[in-house]
Amino acid sequence: MTVTDDKTTHFGFEQIPVGDKVRRVAGVFDAVADQYDVMNDVMSFGVHRLWKRLAIDLCGVRPGNQVLDLAAGTGDLTRRFSRLVGEQGRVIAADINAAMLNVGRDRLLDKGVCENVRFTQANAECLPFVDNSFDCATMAFGLRNVTDKQAALDSLYRVIKPGGSLLVLEFSKPVLPGLDKLYDAYSFKILPVMGRLIANDEDSYRYLAESIRMHPDQKTLKVMMEQSGFERCDYHNLAGGIVAIHRGFKL
């Protein structure tokens, strides 16, 4: 269902007008862009890099493919996809946030990754690409920040080629008994303090913890992908369900 401008949506645990969410989320990522990679390493004890490698392996990207890395951020997935698709392929690194996109572009250029990569500022809900453009699209740790998640999934379905796939890597709901209480304690007591000490921004990391709790659980997101038209949808829990990799195909 598409939200309208006269309705409210969540920004973390706060209810705000729908039209304000993009601006508020942009403010969070403007604030954390420069320290984003450092905080990811600290928050996950470096395990986020393994999660991303597993996600890339599930994509099955091959030389010559056209790949959309949506919510590309600082370019972790983009850099690996650039190597996989080779000279005949292309990767679009897209993000709604200009600060994050600029950090990602600078870091990839520093690593010599640029010849088969294009950077685009784009809103996931209305992607500026023609139908059936990509063999694979990914969205890592970005969907929970989108105002209308169903519209984003619809938009992704439109731009993926028949036979192509979508992969969403996102924080999810713990499934191991007792893990949810430990995770809550870490998220709401420790994470904001880490944000203050490392990134000098406690509020942004409190929002990020809250946004995870407001994100659809594994089964709900699977149903949403199916509603957008994706088939053979599945998900793989990581770290006891703290993170999940969702996958669907456009057949």
Q: Is the pLDDT at 1 greater than 70, yes or no?
A: no
Res 124: pLDDT: 96
Average pLDDT over residues 197-218: 87
Res 6: pLDDT: 57
19-176+206-249: in CATH 3.40.50.150? yes
Residue ranges of the alpha helices (H) in the chain?
21-32, 36-44, 48-59, 76-85, 98-110, 149-159, 179-185, 191-199, 202-214, 218-227
Place of tokens 């890395």: 69
Identify the H or E element spanning 70. strand 66-70
**Contact criterion met (CB below 8 Å) for 230 and 248:** yes
Instruction: Return all residues near 28 (Cβ < 8 A) that are at least 6 apart.
Output: 204, 207, 208
Reading phi first (left if > 0) and then psi (alpha if -120 to 50, else beta), residue 13 is in alpha
Q: Is the pLDDT at 22 greater than 70, yes or no?
A: yes
Length of the chain equals 251
Q: Is the pLDDT at 39 greater than 80, yes or no?
A: no
What pLDDT, in 10s, does the model give residues 54-80?
999 999 999 999 999 999 988 999 999
Res 2: pLDDT: 42
What pLDDT, in 10s, does the model give residues 98-119?
988 998 899 888 888 778 999 9
Q: Is the pLDDT at 3 greater than 50, yes or no?
A: no
Query: What is d(CA 83, CA 55) in angstroms, rounded to the nearest whole number?
Result: 15
Average pLDDT over residues 34-60: 84
Angle, helices 36-44 vs 21-32, to 10°: value is: 90
Instruction: Return all residues near 126 (Cβ < 8 A) that are at least 6 apart.
Output: 151, 155
What pLDDT, in 10s, does the model give residues 222-235?
999 999 999 999 99
Query: Measured in whole angstroms, how far is the alpha carbon of residue 173 from the centre of its chain?
Result: 16
